Amino acid sequence: MPRSRRFKQVDVFTQTPFLGNPLAVVLDAEEMTDIQMQAMARWTNLSETTFVLPPSDPRADYRVRIFTPEYELPFAGHPTLGTAHALLEAGILSNVSNRIVQECGVGLVTIEKTPHGALAFQAPEAQFQALSRESVVQLEAALNTSSLHPEHAPALVNMGIRWLVVRLTNAAACLAVRPNPVRFAELRRWCEADGIALYGTHPEGLPAYYEVRALIPEHGMVVEDPVTGSANACIARLLQQQGFPDGLSTRQGYSVRQGTVLERDGRLQVRYASNTPWIEGHSVTVIDGTLNA
């Protein structure tokens, strides 16, 4: 017998509906099986669907499971902010302070409310791995570009989800990339990456300091994710590990635009506190109702 469950679909990293990254959120997913969760994620056909459960760790305010249409993720950025937004809006987290603790596959993730109505998550710790010269040659072929930044080598950054972070010479070169699907699949298997995160600087830092793109495999194709919290968290960790090569500092942080090629206008802010990056953005609810499942 289907059960009625509270459900929201939110647009993350935007204040304007349809310009960010959509997320489906089941607010009370108790008694749903793994098979049911995966089936629903496949049905929504969004990049991620989240399922809220009671926490198993007493330090957490809730537990979340994150599913793509094909598999479960231990962590993802826009689902973290979008789920917290949905829970706050529904009044489920009405007793929390300005800090929220989410339990997920990588452990506990802290989320902060900001004074201007956004939410920010603390980037998990990351591990870094340089690419071999052979992999860099494969990367250029996979991206159909000769515009890799000569001074900043690509690196694999792992924070539960594993992004190959690639810097282009500038934002225009980033936007011009048109990947080769066959070479992309070969490279991803070679590197064992979940996706490739591209970034480049805008002249004068406008309309944002960095342009970012996130390319992921899905159903045998290369798909672009509109706005990606985990990819931006990996970029932020790598920039910090490189000693802020653009003259930025932990005091400044920087702004990001993502989704341009998809005619989206995702916006987020990266700031650093206690030597840790925080990924900040707004969310807006587009659908609010119930799910019979």
Mind telling me the catalytic residues? 48
List of E strands, 55-106 = 62-67, 72-73, 99-104
**Alpha-carbon distance 222 to 262, whole Å?**
13
Exposed/middle/buried for residue 176 (C-beta within 10 Å: 0-12, 13-18, 19+): middle
Query: Could you give the residue ranges of the DSSP H alpha helices within 105-149?
Result: 133-143
**Alpha-carbon distance 220 to 98, whole Å?**
42
Find out whether 227 and 12 touch, Cβ atoms under 8 Å: yes
SS3 category, 38: helix
Q: With the CA atoms of 174, 208, 45 and 290 taken in that order, what torsion angle do they form, in degrees rounded to the nearest 10?
A: 180
Pairing of strands 49-53, 21-26: parallel
**Alpha-carbon distance 40 to 189, whole Å?**
27
Q: Which single residue is written with the structure tokens 């990367």? A: 139
Write phi, then psi, for 265 (nearest 5 degrees). -145, 60
Q: How many CA atoms lie within 13 A of 193 on its CB side?
A: 32
Find out whether 135 and 216 touch, Cβ atoms under 8 Å: no
Find out whether 145 and 172 touch, Cβ atoms under 8 Å: no
What letter represents residue 210's amino acid? Y
